[in-house]
Amino acid sequence: MQVTVRYYGFFSTVTKKLYETLEVKEGQKVKDLIEILSGRYGYKFSQLCFIRPLYSDKEYANVCLNVLDLNNIQKFPRGLETALKEGDTVSFGVMGGAA
C-alpha cells in the first residue's frame, strides 16, 4: 500500500525532499515508518522525530498523521503504534496539523 510522506523544516534539509510516496506493508505502524526512514536518511533524521518542549519532561513525536498531531491521545490513543492505511499522509516537522 502507498503512503505519502511530507517533510518540513530541518526534515526537508536532511532528506533533500519536500515529499515522497512510499510503498509500505499492510499493518505497518507509524513507528515502523520512522524506522524505515531513519535507515534511509540516518541518525539525524531519527533525532528530529522527537522533541522535548521546555515546559515538559515528556518527549513528543514530531509527526502528524493526515494533518492531525500524532500526540493527540483522543485522536491517536495508540500513538506511534497507530497502523497506517492506504493513502495516509505522514508529515514530519509540523505540530498541530498545519500540513
Per residue in 83-92, pLDDT (tens digit) is 999 999 999 9
Give me the pLDDT at residue 96, please: 45
Q: Which of 55, 99, 52, 50 is nearest to 79 (CA)?
A: 50
Per residue in 24-74, pLDDT (tens digit) is 999 999 999 999 999 999 999 999 998 876 777 777 889 999 999 999 999
Q: How confident is the model at residue 94 (pLDDT cuts 50, 70, 90)?
A: low
Q: Which of 98, 99, 58, 57 is nearest to 79 (CA)?
A: 58
CATH code for the structural domain at 2-92: 3.10.20.30
Q: What is the pTM of this model?
A: 0.88
Higher per-residue confidence, 97 vs 41: 41
